[in-house]
């Protein structure tokens, strides 16, 4: 299969694997395997990879081919800074335009996220936690800002090197609830403040994940260093 539909299948397959933590940063993507998985032609694969590279999800190299991008600490900081600024604008718009139907959608979403967290369905909770921010952007009605939010959220799994899902991260459900309450009051400034606080906490947790992973790798490397034999 070739054409835009095939290219979209390639992009969707890689994005879903990244968001589901099924593929780690630095992993090399094999065109043949992608073609088999997505049922796409080589030209569709290459165009899809170009789209992913433009979004910052894939790195293209003449020697290595395509690999899943790895975010440096500075890139991670910049991603969160961008999210804070862009989402503040989204929240300002939504605080002025949120209607009863939009509030009902947000309330239902918060209940769904809370249920996943309480039931221990942590992968689902992680997905819903990201989806909340995208839903808020969609409800703002600004397609350009929504596209920016989507691209930044898709890069979030590249900031952490661990697949571990810690419950503390999903206490963000309470933050989401407070954000919705501020929006319902028409208080965009308070909603933005709460969102900034929430994203800063997530940034700290992801930084801790990265540092822990580096320490683990360092310990494993140390164990592999040959030791002198006695006598």
> What is the per-residue pLDDT across 9-66, written as a single tens digit (0 to 9) for each?
888 888 888 777 777 778 888 888 877 777 788 888 888 889 888 888 888 888 778 8
Nearest alpha-carbon partner for 192 in 76, 79, 85, 80 = 85
Rounded to whole angstroms, how far apart are CA atoms 132 and 180? 10
68-96 pLDDT, tens per residue? Answer: 887 788 888 999 999 999 999 999 999 99
pTM here is: 0.71
152-167 pLDDT, tens per residue? Answer: 988 876 666 544 545 4
Q: Quick check: helix, strand or coil at residue 30? A: coil
Nearest alpha-carbon partner for 183 in 84, 107, 126, 86 = 107
Where in the chain are the domains?
4-68, 73-217
Rounded to whole angstroms, how far apart are CA atoms 158 and 179? 26
The arithmetic mean of pLDDT across residues 217-224, rounded, is: 41
Rounded to whole angstroms, how far apart are CA atoms 179 and 176? 5
200 compared with 209, residue with greater pLDDT: 200
| CATH code that applies to domain 4-68 | 1.10.10.10
Q: Which helix (H) or strand (E) holds 29?
A: strand 28-29
| CATH code that applies to domain 73-217 | 1.20.120.530
> Could you tell me if 3 and 44 are in contact, meaning their C-beta atoms sit under 8 angstroms apart?
yes
């Amino acid at each position: 299969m070739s054409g835009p539909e095939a290219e979209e299948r390639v992009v969707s397959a890689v994005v879903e694997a990244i968001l589901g933590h099924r593929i780690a940063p630095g992993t090399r993507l094999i065109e043949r395997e992608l073609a088999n998985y997505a049922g796409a032609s080589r030209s569709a694969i290459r165009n899809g990879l170009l789209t992913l590279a433009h979004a910052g999800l894939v790195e293209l190299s003449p020697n290595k081919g395509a690999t899943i991008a790895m975010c440096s600490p500075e890139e991670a900081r910049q991603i969160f800074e961008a999210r804070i600024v862009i989402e503040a604008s989204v929240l300002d718009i939504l605080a002025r335009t949120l209607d009863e139907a939009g509030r009902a959608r947000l309330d239902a979403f918060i209940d769904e996220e809370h249920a996943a967290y309480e039931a221990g369905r942590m992968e689902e909770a992680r997905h819903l936690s990201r989806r909340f921010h995208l839903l808020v952007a969609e409800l703002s009605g600004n397609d350009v800002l929504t596209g920016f939010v989507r691209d930044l959220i898709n890069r979030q799994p590249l900031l952490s090197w661990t697949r571990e899902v810690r419950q503390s991260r999903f206490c963000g459900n309470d933050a989401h609830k407070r954000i919705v309450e501020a929006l319902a009051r028409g208080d965009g400034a308070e909603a933005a403040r709460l969102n900034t606080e929430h994203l800063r906490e997530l940034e700290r947790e992801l930084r801790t994940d990265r540092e822990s992973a580096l320490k683990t790798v360092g310990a494993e490397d140390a164990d592999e260093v040959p030791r002198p034999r006695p006598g």
